[in-house]
Amino acid sequence: MKKMISSALIIGLLSPMIVCAADSASAAYSVHIRSLAASCAACHGTHGNAVSTSNHGDSTPALAGVSKADIIAKLQAFKSGERSATVMHRHAKGLTADEITALAEHFSMQVPYNPVILEPQRLRADHAN
Ligand code: HEC
């Protein structure tokens, strides 16, 4: 009986530590997913809000607010080669199924907005040559 009580006590004392360990593991995973998502920003814009400019014609598609299922389906199609692409087949091949799901969730939750299109910087006449 004494042994049972002390086991219960140990479990009771340890369980918050186990919960903390699980929390920090998921926090690390979330940092990992946010880092991956940041790598998409170079082409898909900040938080998935792609900038469309006349210079680039039809720019890279926006991801912000697109449904999770839609993003998963598209990334899996790039990964399997079912959908041809200029660059996305390469990116998608480097992602695991879990990462695809988490990225899709991340971008589906971003608020879509029309990003400000920056004017190209003009060269001063004395810098032109
Ligand atoms: C080097 C630029 C570049 C990067 C970085 C990039 N993408 Fe893309 N993405 C594209 C282009 C270009 C397309 C259009 C398909 C193609 O030609 O590859 C596209 C298409 C997509 C599509 C399909 C959108 C649609 O509506 O058809 C999804 C989803 C997507 N990308 C997700 C991502 C995610 C998630 C990341 C980051 C892990 C990422 N992309 C990183 C350039 C990029």
Span 59-69, pLDDT tens digits: 789 999 999 99
pLDDT at residue 106 in the model: 96
Q: What pLDDT is attached to residue 117?
A: 72
Higher pLDDT, 21 or 76: 76
CB 108 within 8 A of CB 71: yes
Average pLDDT, the chain: 83
Name residues contacting ligand 1 (CB within 6 A). 36, 39-40, 42-44, 60-61, 63, 71, 74-75, 85-88, 91, 103
Structure tokens at 43: 């082409």
> What's the distance, CA 35 to chain centroid?
7
Q: How many CA atoms lie within 13 A of 43 on its CB side?
A: 11
Dump pLDDT digits (tens) for 17-45: 555 566 777 888 899 999 999 999 999 99
Query: How far is ligand 1, taken at its centre, from the CA of residue 28, in Å?
Result: 24
- Residue 100 predicted with pLDDT over 80: yes
Test site for ligand 1: of 91, 93, 100, 106, most ligand atoms within 8 A of the Cβ = 91
